[in-house]
Structure 1
Amino acid sequence: MPSISKKGNAMPQSPIRKLVPFAEAAKKKGVKVYHLNIGQPDINTPKVALDAVKNNTVEVLSYARSEGSETYRNKLVNYYAKNNIELTPDQIIVTTGGSEALFFTFGSIMDNGDEVIIPEPFYANYNGFSIASGVKVVPVISKIEDNFALPPIEDFEKLISPKTKAILICNPGNPTGYLYSKEEIKKLKDLVLKHDLFLIADEVYREFVYDGLEHNSIMKENDIDQHAIMIDSVSKRYSMCGARIGCVVSKNKQVIQTVLKFAQARLSPPTYALIASEAALETPQSYFDKVIEEYLERRNTLITELQKIDGVKVAKPKGAFYCIAELPVDNSEDFAQWILEEFSLDNETVMVAPAGGFYSTKDNGKNQVRIAYVLNKESLKRSVTILKEALQVYNRLK
């Protein structure tokens, strides 16, 4: 029998999705499942984006340009200018989601065996992207006790080797919700300049910032035009996860020219999704004001309720719509499966994402879960009530 590749065997399962069969089995038994496991917002997609697809007059659904239409990239330039990021259209390559943007970036700047340093916990698919690209993730550990702030810059520096090509951050962070300060971004800037590395910033949650704080994009920094690569997407910003439109942004011409070759090899991003994304850029600020207010209330509700549970430790997110909670269990993956298979409260249960999959260091995050506060406040309160009762039952059984 032909064998599977080493790369294929090494590809990790998604910690967000691998428990789906257990959730589906619970639903078939008539149990209601509150999904805290996945960052799929319940916020309505802007009507202007949906109408652009419904009402378009396209007669031939043709290929788009590999780098995305010039109209869309020009509108992106205007969008970024409102965020004090000055760009030109030829510094943007449109991709099929932020995921493809990262694939193209890894392929453009790293060879087999090269290394990328990432603060962990990090978005679980970074592990998959790196394995698919033949790249080694070198983790630098951030701690729940520090609210997952940037680790000391010395911790980064001692991990740099001749194979290191880049540092990758997610800002605000998935799964932690941490928002990097101006000072932290400057420390990273100085480090990549010192060691001639790329600084990649996944900024797809830019709009979701709380407590009067400000998002600090690496594209606003002076002196790192040749080192900075930004990853972006419409998925979360406009609640358009199914559109699969993202982009790679850099002022480094060689990077953009190389990313374009990868974009040409896959032909083009999807045309209808481009139409929707271009229209979404017309979304008024009032939409975001309401969304941010809603997420802020959800965050406060979730954190307040979790802090009431004995033995639970939770980091307070400053952005995005996730938090990491440390539970009084030995193995959060076993608990997450058990609560779907064996437990319900008044015929309801919850689904969380075990946090071990958001680390690359073995056994880190083993008693943690990621919770996405993408449900309404009453559902979040009910979910935490179920979680509290489940923890009591689970620990009695153990």
Structure 2
Amino acid sequence: MPAISKKGIQMPESPIRKLVPYAEDAKKRGTKVFHLNIGQPDIKTPQVALDAVKNNNITTLAYARSEGSEEYRTKLATYYVNNNIDVSANNIVITTGGSEALLFTIGSITDPGDEIIIPEPFYANYNGFSTASGVTVVPVISSIENNFALPKIEDFEKLITKKTKAILICNPGNPTGYLYSKEEIEKLKQVVLKHDLFLIADEVYREFTYDGLQHTSVMSLEGLEQNSIVIDSVSKRYSMCGARIGCIVSKNDEFIKTAIKFAQARLSPPTYALIASEAALDTPQRYFDEVIEEYVERRNTLITELKKIEGVKVANPKGAFYCVVQLPVKDTDDFAQWLLEKFDHNQETVMVAPASGFYSTPGEGKNQVRIAYVLNKKDLIRSVEILGAALKQYNS
């Protein structure tokens, strides 16, 4: 029998999606499942984006330009300029989701055996993208004790070797919801300039910041033009996860030229999704104001309810729509599967994402889960009620 590649065997399962078969079986048994495991907002997609697809007069669905249409990139550049990121259309490559943007970025700046330093816990697919590229993730651990703040710069520096090519952050963070301050971004700027590294920032949750705090993009710092790369996407900003449109933004011309070669190899991003994404840029500010207000209320509701459960510790997110929760169990992988296989509370249960999949350090996060507060407040309250009842039964 032909052998599977070592890379394929090493490819990690998604902690967000690996339990889906158990959730589907639970639903077949008549159990309602509240999905706290995945960042799929229930917020409506802007109507202007949907109408752009519905009302177009395309007669031949042709290839798009590999780096995305000039019209869309120009309009997108205006969006960035309005967010204190001074770029042009030539600094942008459109990708099939933020995932492809990360793959193109890693492929453009690393060779097999190279290393990328990432504060953990981190978006689980960073492990997968690195494995697919033959790159090693070097984690620097942040802690729930200080709300997952940026680790000390000394912790980064002691990990830097000749194989280190970049530091990668998610800001605001998935899965932690942590929002890096301008001072923290400045500290990272100094270390990447000192060691001649790239600073990659996954900024797909840029709009979602709370408590009066402001987002600082790595592209807004002077002197970092040749070292900074932004990963972005329409998925969360406009509740358009199914569009699969993302982008890479950088003022490093050699990097952009290289990324375009990867874009040419996969031909083009999807045409209809480009149309929707370009139209979405006309979404009025009141849309975001209302969405942010809703997420703040959901966050506050979730945190309040979780703190009522004995033995639970929860970080307080300042952005995105996730939080990491420490539970009074030894193995949340087992607990999360048990919730779907063997437990229900009045024919209802919850699906969570075990946090061990958001770490690359063995043994870390085994008693934590990520919760996405993308459900309405009533469902969040009920979900936490179910979680509390489940913990009592599981630990009895």
Q: TM-score, structure 2 length as denominator?
A: 1.00
How many Å apart are 1:118 and its aligned residue?
0.0
**Could you tell me which residue of structure 2 aligns to residue 172 of structure 1?**
172
Q: Which residue of 2 aligns with 1:282?
A: 282
Letter in 2 for 1:303: I
Q: Distance in 2 between matches of 1:68 and 1:281?
A: 15
1:34-77 alpha-carbon deviations (Å, 9 max, x no partner): 00000000000000000100110001100100000000001101
Whether 1:206 aligns to 2:234 is no
Which residue matches 1:252? 252
2:136 counterpart letter in structure 1:
K
Matched, 1:395 2:365: no
Residue 386 (structure 2) aligns with:
386
CA drift of 1:116 comes to 0.1
| Match of residue 270 from structure 2 | 270
Aligned residue number for residue 98 of structure 2 = 98
CA distance in structure 1 between the partners assigned to 2:108 and 2:154 by the alignment? 27
Q: Which residue of 1 aligns with 2:356?
A: 356
Partner of 1:160: 160
State the match for 2:33 in structure 1. Answer: 33
Aligned to 1:219: 219
| CA distance in structure 2 between the aligned counterparts of 1:48 and 1:31, rounded to whole angstroms | 36
Structure 2: 5+ residue stretches without partners: none
User: C-alpha distance in 2, partners of 1:386/1:62?
Assistant: 49
Whichever residue aligns with residue 337 of structure 2, its letter is: Q
Q: CA deviation at 1:323?
A: 0.1
Q: Aligned partner of 1:345: which letter?
A: H
Are positions 1:365 and 2:365 aligned together? yes
For 2:395, what is the secondary structure of its paired residue? helix
SS at match of 1:369: strand
After superposition, what is the alpha-carbon deviation per residue over 1:112-142, rounded to whole angstroms, capped at 9, x for unaligned? Answer: 0000000000000000000000100000000
Which amino acid is 1:361 matched to?
T
What is the identity, as a one-letter code, of the residue corresponding to 2:13?
Answer: Q
Q: What's the counterpart of residue 124 of structure 2?
A: 124
Question: What stretches of structure 1 move > 3 A for 4+ residues in a row?
Answer: none
CA distance in 1, matches of 2:349, 2:196: 50
Which residue number in structure 2 is paired with residue 65 of structure 1?
A: 65
CA distance in 2, matches of 1:171, 1:309: 29
Alignment of 1:309-348 (within 5 A): 309-348=309-348
Which digits, 9 at most, give the CA deviation of each residue in 1:201-248, with x for residues without a partner? 000000000000000000000101000000000000000000000000
Aligned CA-pair RMSD = 0.4
How far residue 328 of structure 1 moved from its aligned partner, in angstroms, is 0.0
Once residues 145 and 216 of structure 2 are traced to their aligned partners in structure 1, the CA distance between those partners, rounded to angstroms, is: 23
Cα distance in 1 for partners of 2:227, 2:84 equals 19
Measured in 1, the distance between the counterparts of 2:229 and 2:97 equals: 16
2:189 is matched by which residue type in structure 1? K
State the shift of 1:84 in Å: 1.1
Q: Secondary structure at the match of 1:239?
A: coil
Q: Give distance in 2, aligned partners of 1:137 and 1:120.
A: 10
Question: What is the distance in 2 between the residues matched to 1:203 and 1:183?
Answer: 17
User: Which residue is 2:230 aligned to?
Assistant: 230
Q: How does 1:108-147 map to 2 (within 5 A)?
A: 108-147=108-147
Q: Could you tell me which amino acid in structure 2 is paired with residue 186 of structure 1?
A: E
Corresponding residue SS for 2:329: coil
Cα distance in structure 1, aligned partners of 2:184 and 2:15? 29
2:79 aligned residue? 79
State how far apart, in whole Å, the 1-side matches of 2:332 and 2:325 are.
Answer: 10
- By how many angstroms is 1:81 displaced? 1.3
Determine helix, strand or coil for the equivalent of 1:85.
Answer: coil
Q: How far does the alpha carbon of each residue in 1:124-179 deviate from its partner, in whole angstroms, 9 at most, with x for none? A: 00000000001000000000001000000000000000000000000000000000
Identity across the alignment (%): 75
| Structure 2 residue matching 1:138: 3-state secondary structure | strand
Counterpart residue type for residue 78 of structure 1: T
Partner of 1:295: 295
Structure 2 residue 151 is the aligned partner of structure 1 residue 151: yes
1:146 and 1:158 map into 2 onto residues whose CA distance is 21
How far off its partner does 1:82 sit? 1.4
TM, length-normalised to structure 1: 0.99
Letter of the 1:133 partner, please give it: S
What's the CA shift for 1:290? 0.4
**CA shift digits 1:82-120 (9 cap, x unpaired):** 111110100000000000000000000000000000000
- Which residue identity does 1:110 align to in structure 2? T
C-alpha distance in 2 between matches for 1:152 and 1:304: 30
Residue 227 of structure 2 aligns to which amino acid in structure 1?
Answer: H
Residue 251 of structure 1 aligns to a residue in which SS?
A: coil
What residue in structure 1 maps to residue 195 of structure 2? Answer: 195
3-state DSSP class of the match of 2:224? coil
Q: Which residue of 1 aligns with 2:53?
A: 53
**Per-residue Cα deviation, 1:284-310 (whole angstroms, up to 9, x for no partner):** 001000000000000000001001110
